[in-house]
Amino acid sequence: MARSQHQFDLVIAANRLPVDRVVGPDGEESWRTSPGGLVTAMESVMRGREGAWVGWAGEAGEAPKPFVEDDMYLRPVPLSEDEVAHYYEGFSNDTLWPIYHDVIVPATFHRYWFTAYEAVNRRFAEAVCEVAAKGATVWVHDYQLQLVPAMVREMRPDVRIGWFDHIPFPPVELFAQLPWRRAVLEGLLGADYLGFQRVADAQNFVRACRQLLGLPTKGDTVSVSRADDSRRVRASAVPISIDYVGLEEIAKRPETQQRAQEIRESLGNPRTLLLGVDRLDYTKGIGHRIKAYGELLEEGKVSPPDEVFVQVATPSRERVAAYRELRQEIEGEVGRLNGEHSRIGAPAVHYLHHSYPRQEMAALFLAADVVLVTPLRDGMNLVAKEYVTCRYDEGGALVLSEFTGAFHELHQAFVCNPHDIEGLKQTIMRAIETPDKEKRRLMRAMRRRVADHDVQRWASRFLEALEVAPERPQRTTKE
C-alpha cells in the first residue's frame, strides 16, 4: 500500500526496470520488456501489488521521469556512458558474472570498475530511501546491487531489507579471488535476510562470511557484531519460479495452439523438433549443445527434415568482449553445421538471434518435442519451468543440465552433464526415443512441481522469511 504519493511500503530495487526505454532513429520513444529471468519473475510478482520499482531504464544518459505502470511506481536511476561501461558491463558483467558462474571465462579486475559500482550502488540506495515509507520492506535484487543493503541500512535503520540472489553464489575458493570480497560481504550483511536459489549457494555465502570475515556462523545465520551494529543475518534457499497460471493460460489460447501448428508446418512437420531458448550467454552451454547435435548429425542418428533443431538466442550484453566472441563462435558453428548437413529447404539448425513476445515463446514450447537446457552453470533457468508449464497436453521432453537450479526441482527431466558430450548425445537420443506414455508421466510430475511452487509462492516465502528475520528493525505503527 502506498503511504503517501511517492512513498511505498514495498520497494523493489533491481538493476533493470521491468521495461527498457528505446529511442528510435527518429527520436521517438518506446518501451519494451527488459530481458532475462529476473524481470520475467518480478513482473508477475509485482502485478497487483502496489509498490515502487527502482531501476535503470536501459540507456545511458538522463533518466526518464518516474512513471506509473500496472499500478507500480517506476523510479528510473540514471547511468552515464562511463557507468554503463564500468558498473554494468565492467564490474557486474565482466568481474562478478564470471566469478559467480564458475569462471567459465576469466574474470577481469579493474579498480575503477569497482569505484563505479560503489557510486552506482549508492545512487540506487538513495533512490530506494527516497521512495520507501517509514518501516517499509525493501527488496534488493541480484549481483549488480550487493552494496545496497548496507547503504540503505545506514541511511534508513527503520526499514526491513531483503536481498535475493538470482544467480549462483560461488564457492569460497572462487569468491576469494575477488579483491573487493570484504566490501561485497559487508554490503550484503546490511540485509536482514538473504535469499538464494540453492541450499549450496546459501552455504557458500555463510562459509565466505566465516572464512573471509572471521564472523561466527551457526546453521544458516551469520552474527554481525560491531560496536554500533550487532545482529544476526539469515541466508537460506528460496528457489525462484514462474507465473504458472498466467503462462499456462497463454499456452491454452486457441491462437497459441494455432501458431504452434504453423511453426511445425513451416519446419516441414518434423518427426522431432528440438528447441533451445537462451540469452546468448556463455553460461548457457549453447556451444556444447550444438557440438553434441553436430556429432549426432555426423553419425546419422538424426537428420533433417525428420529432426529439426531450432535455437533461439536473445541478444545480450553485446559490448562485453566475451559475449561478442561467443556470438562469433556460435554463429560460426551454426554456419558450419548448416553448410555440411542442410539440404535445400531443410536446414540442420534454425538459428534466430531475436527476442519474441511471450505468446510466440509459448507457441514454440508447445511445438517442441524436446527442449535442450544445457547450461554449464545457471542460478535457476526459468526456461525449463516455462517449458513444462506450457505443456498442459503433457507432451514433450526436457533435457536438463545438472548445473542449473532447476535440476534440484525437476527430478523427472532427462538429466545431462553438458561437459560430457558423449553423455549429452545419449541423453538427447533418450529424450527423442523414450515412449510417449513414459514421457507423459515424467512431464506430468514436473508440471505438478511447478504448479505447486510458482512465483507467487516464491515471493510469499521470501517476504515471510524477511518478516521473521532473526533481528529486525522495530516496525513503527502505521499512521
Residues forming contacts to ligand G6P in the complex (CB under 6 A) are 15-16, 35-38, 142, 166-167, 316-317
Q: Which option in ligand ADP, ligand G6P, none does residue 142 bind, with CB closer than 5 to 8 A by kind?
A: ligand G6P
Q: How far is the CB of 475 from ligand ADP (least distance, A)?
A: 33
**Separation between Cα atoms, residue 290 and residue 349, nearest integer Å:** 9
Q: How far is the CB of 317 from ligand G6P (least distance, A)?
A: 5
The string of DSSP codes covering 332-365 is: HHHHHHHHHH-BTTB-SEEEE-----HHHHHHHH
Contact 413, 398 (CB under 8 A): yes
List residues binding ligand ADP (CB under 6 A).
Answer: 36-37, 40, 277, 279, 312, 314, 354-356, 361, 380-383, 386
Q: How far is the CB of 462 from ligand G6P (least distance, A)?
A: 15
Compare residues 7 and 359 and give the one whose CB is closer to ligand ADP: 359
Compare residues 141 and 439 and give the one whose CB is closer to ligand G6P: 141
Q: How far is the CB of 262 from ligand G6P (least distance, A)?
A: 29
Q: Which option in ligand ADP, ligand G6P, none does residue 342 bind, with CB closer than 5 to 8 A by kind?
A: none
Give SS3 for 391.
coil
Compare residues 40 and 92 and give the one whose CB is closer to ligand ADP: 40
Q: How far is the CB of 241 from ligand G6P (least distance, A)?
A: 14
Tell me the CB-side half-sphere exposure of residue 271, using CA atoms within 13 A: 10
Of 327, 349, 233, the residue nearest 280 (C-alpha): 327
Of 248, 250, 252, 241, the residue nearest 45 (C-alpha): 241
Compare residues 190 and 276 and give the one whose CB is closer to ligand ADP: 276
Show the DSSP H helices in 214-304 as ranges: 244-252, 254-266, 286-298
Q: In this structure, what C-alpha cell is assigned to residue 293?
A: 547435435
Compare residues 194 and 308 and give the one whose CB is closer to ligand G6P: 194
Q: How far is the CB of 93 from ligand G6P (least distance, A)?
A: 6
Contact 395, 443 (CB under 8 A): yes
Q: Which option in ligand ADP, ligand G6P, none does residue 146 bind, with CB closer than 5 to 8 A by kind?
A: none
Q: How far is the CB of 165 from ligand ADP (least distance, A)?
A: 12
> Residue with the closest Cβ to ligand ADP?
37
Q: Which option in ligand G6P, ligand ADP, none does residue 226 bind, with CB closer than 5 to 8 A by kind?
A: none
Of 371, 374, 294, the residue nearest 334 (C-alpha): 294
Q: H/E element holding 162? A: strand 160-164
Contact 285, 374 (CB under 8 A): yes
Compare residues 383 and 466 and give the one whose CB is closer to ligand ADP: 383
Q: Which option in ligand G6P, ligand ADP, none does residue 405 bind, with CB closer than 5 to 8 A by kind?
A: none
Q: Which option in ligand ADP, ligand G6P, none does residue 277 bind, with CB closer than 5 to 8 A by kind?
A: ligand ADP
Contact 236, 202 (CB under 8 A): yes
Q: Which option in ligand G6P, ligand ADP, none does residue 391 bind, with CB closer than 5 to 8 A by kind?
A: none
Is the omega angle on the peptide bond into residue 305 within 30 degrees of 0, that is, cis?
Answer: yes
Compare residues 166 and 234 and give the one whose CB is closer to ligand ADP: 166
Q: Which option in ligand ADP, ligand G6P, none does residue 390 bind, with CB closer than 5 to 8 A by kind?
A: none
Q: Which option in ligand G6P, ligand ADP, none does residue 382 bind, with CB closer than 5 to 8 A by kind?
A: ligand ADP
Q: Which option in ligand ADP, ligand G6P, none does residue 356 bind, with CB closer than 5 to 8 A by kind?
A: ligand ADP
Q: How far is the CB of 142 from ligand ADP (least distance, A)?
A: 10
Compare residues 226 and 354 and give the one whose CB is closer to ligand ADP: 354
The string of DSSP codes covering 308-329 is: EEEEEEE---TTSHHHHHHHHH
Of 402, 377, 404, the residue nearest 99 (C-alpha): 377
Q: How far is the CB of 123 from ligand G6P (least distance, A)?
A: 17
> Residue with the closest Cβ to ligand G6P?
36
**Separation between Cα atoms, residue 81 and residue 73, nearest integer Å:** 25
**Separation between Cα atoms, residue 309 and residue 19, nearest integer Å:** 31
Of 163, 83, 443, 143, the residue nearest 283 (C-alpha): 143
Q: How far is the CB of 400 from ligand G6P (least distance, A)?
A: 18
Please give the C-alpha separations between residue 47 and each of 16, 24, 220, 253, 472, in angstroms, as whole numbers.
16, 28, 31, 21, 27
